[in-house]
Amino acid sequence: MKIMVLNSGSSSIKYQIFDMRDRSVLASGLLEKIGEPDSRLTHQTRGPEERFETVEKTAAVADHTQGFDLINSVLKETGALTDMTELAGIGHRAVHGGEAFTRPTLINQEVINTIRDLIPLAPLHNPANLTGIEVAMAGAPEVPQVAIFDTAFHQTLPPHAFHYALPQELYRKHAIRRYGFHGTSHFFVAKKTARLLGRPLGELSLITLHLGNGASAAAVQNGGSVDTSMGLTPLEGLIMGTRCGDLDPAIIFYLARETDRSFEAIDALLNKESGLRGICGVNDMREISRLAQEGNADAQLAIRMYVYRLRKYIGSYAAVLGRLDALVFTGGIGENAAQIRYETCRDLEFFGIAIDEAKNNQRSREAREIQSPESRVRILVVPTNEELEIADQTTLVLQKENLV
């Protein structure tokens, strides 16, 4: 059984095809710069002996419809698929499901309309996701398609965690509340942690830290998310590559008043020019670590601030949970930056958190534990795999709907 996972951005389409018999990747690819004269498709197909062969194509791809056709033809050419109808289903990554979607959902016209209604909550992401869905539904009408929402895992947040202290009317009329994102990743690593610890997820209290370009923390209890650091939008919470995370909201008015910036300019400033980049000019953690080691004071400050914010969230989520079984690191930084993990966990013995430096420094692509023997809290590094989680969830929906 083959499942395609599609992640459609405003000018890109990312895809993977899984063989669900063993959940392995058969093919994957990224089409970039849609709408430009030099759109580029980089496609990989699994060949003999598990080796991946790469095909690159540069051609003007005017829109997502042409992009989907190009991907279809490359899949045929490379033997990854004989035809789209060979797919048991397509799973779409969808960013904002609002309060309407609490679980993966089989897509029909009503679902499309609801995702469209949610555009004001995610003006950048939902239109691109919708385009991907509509193009794939038109290009492969006989293949069942499922939407997997980044917000869905956090729909278990209790009201005292998801409300902002604003007039209630704003929630009722404009749906202003905390939604949270990266849900697919938080859920994936939480489940994997439960398997590794040999205990049901429902019995565990976890803090999961997804640290990529975007970053968020989640407190997980009774099998669901009970709090998370991103809010109405992915701007709130931890310090990220280019996003500021938590901020005194009055800074926005101050900026508008004192610097004459428009709200669009402030939006761009907080989302694209802040975070690590704002502090030290660079948003790639590898580069920042290198600069810090060379003695660059801004890079050193960026790392200290990044870690400090993380520790504040760990402390507050430990209080939220009342008990902590495991702290889980994932995402490009969480999986690879040993120094960040070390600085985050050091001197937290009073919380029962004690990291083992040697284990922490070992490089591996496998999920692993890095706490020292006396640590009451298990500390894990769990590589995330959002695409595989989408493929799994798509399969579950197809099974439930008797479509496979």
Give catalytic residues, as residue numbers: 150
Residue from 174, 286, 376, 400 binding ligand ADP (CB under 6 A): 286
| Minimum gap (Å) between residue 304 Cβ and ligand ADP | 16
Residue from 336, 375, 385, 395 binding ligand ADP (CB under 6 A): 336
Residue placing its CB nearer to ligand ADP in the complex, 204 or 302: 302
Tell whether residue 135 is a contact of ligand ADP (CB under 6 A).
no
Nearest-angstrom CA–CA distance, 55 and 400: 36
b/e for 311-321, b at 16 or more Cβ within 10 A? bebbeebbebb
Chain positions 184 to 243 lying near ligand ADP, rule: CB under 6 A, are: 212-214, 241
Residue placing its CB nearer to ligand ADP in the complex, 74 or 209: 209
Q: Is 93 exposed, middle or buried (0-12, 13-18, 19+ CB in 10 A)?
A: buried
Residue placing its CB nearer to ligand ADP in the complex, 58 or 293: 293
Stretch that binds ligand ADP, among 70-78, 166-174, 330-338, 389-397 (CB under 6 A): 330-338
Helices marked H in 208-296 — which ranges?
250-259, 263-272, 275-280, 285-293
Stretch that binds ligand ADP, among 105-113, 140-148, 283-291, 298-306 (CB under 6 A): 283-291
Nearest-angstrom CA–CA distance, 98 and 32: 28
Its sign, for the CA torsion 8, 69, 42, 45, is positive
| Minimum gap (Å) between residue 214 Cβ and ligand ADP | 5
Residue from 285, 307, 321, 390 binding ligand ADP (CB under 6 A): 285
104, two tokens: 């993966």
Residue from 337, 377, 382, 391 binding ligand ADP (CB under 6 A): 337
Q: Any idea which residue has 């950048």 for tokens?
A: 124
108 to 138, 145, 147: CA distances (angstroms): 12, 8, 10
Tell whether residue 39 is a contact of ligand ADP (CB under 6 A).
no
Q: What crossing angle do the helices spanning 183-197 and 386-400 adopt, rounded to 10°?
A: 90
Report the interface residues with ligand ADP, using CB under 6 A.
212-214, 241, 284-286, 289, 331-333, 336-337
